[in-house]
Amino acid sequence: MNVLTVVSHPRQDSLTFKVADRFVQGLAEAGHEAEVLDLHRIGFDPVLQGADEPDWTASEQIFSPEVEKEINRMKAHDALAFVFPVWWWHLPAMLKGYIDRVWNNGFAYGANHLHHEHVLWIGLAGVSKEQMQKRNYDEMITHLLNVGIADYCGVSNSKVELLYETLDSKPEHYDMLLNQAYRLGLNYGKDH
C-alpha cells in the first residue's frame, strides 16, 4: 500500500515525529510506500475560509489551490495514517483544520467518499491509560475518529492507537513507545 502519513506537531524534534519516523520504518519493512506530510513544515493554514466552505447546492465544487493540492495528494495514496499529540482530549487544531478543509463535501463525504482502504490514528497521550479511561476519553476519541470521521467518509477500516505517558522521558519508556510505533507500521493493514 501507499500510505499518506500526516504528522501534526510544531516541533520536528518532538516525540511525535520520532514516532512517525519509526512507524514509517515499519511500513517500509513491511513493503509499503509512505509519504510523510508535515502540516507545519508546509505552512498549512488550518482556518476554514469562504473558498473552502462546503457548498451544499453545488454538485461539484472547486476549492482553494491549497486544498485542491491536498485533495490531489490524498488521491495519490490508497491508505492513510495520522500521528499527533492528544491535546485537550482531541486532535490538535492544525490537524482538525486539515480535516475541516481537505476532507470536504463532494470529496470525502456527500456525493463522493474517500477511496482509502485503511486509516490509522496514532495519538500520543501524556496521561496514563487509566487516566484516559477514567472519564471514557479513550472511547470518545476512538468513536469520534473511527465513526464520526473515517466511517462517515467511507473508510470502514479505521483504527485508533493511543501511546500513553509520553511525558515520561525515561529512555526505556521512549524505546517502548517507538517500538510500538514500529510494530504499527510493520502490521499496518493486517489488524484492522
The pLDDT assigned to 56 comes to 86
Residue 117 lies in a domain: yes
**Above pLDDT 90, what percent of the chain?**
92
Number of neighbouring beta carbons within 10 Å of residue 191: 12
Residue 145 structural domain: 2-186
Check whether 57 has a pLDDT greater than 90: no
The pLDDT assigned to 129 comes to 96
Return mean pLDDT, the chain: 95
pLDDT, tens digit, 9 for 90 and up, residues 114-157:
999 999 999 999 999 999 999 999 999 999 999 999 999 999 99
pLDDT band at 191 (very low <50, low <70, confident <90, very high): low
Choose between 56 and 160: higher pLDDT. Answer: 160
Residue 191 lies in a domain: no
Check whether 192 has a pLDDT greater than 60: no
pLDDT band at 179 (very low <50, low <70, confident <90, very high): very high
Instruction: Report the side by side order of strands in the sheet with 158-163.
Output: 33-38, 2-7, 79-85, 118-124, 158-163
Q: How far apart are CA 86 and CA 9, in angstroms?
A: 10
Residue 192 lies in a domain: no
Check whether 110 has a pLDDT greater than 80: yes
Give the count of domains, the chain.
1
Q: Which amino acid is at 101?
A: R
Give the CATH number, domain containing residue 53.
3.40.50.360
> What does DSSP say about strands 79-85 and 118-124: parallel, antiparallel, or unpaired?
parallel
End-to-end CA distance of the chain: 14
**Above pLDDT 70, what percent of the chain?**
99
DSSP state of 55: -
Distance of CA 170 to the CA centre of its chain: 26
The pLDDT assigned to 46 comes to 97
The pLDDT assigned to 71 comes to 98
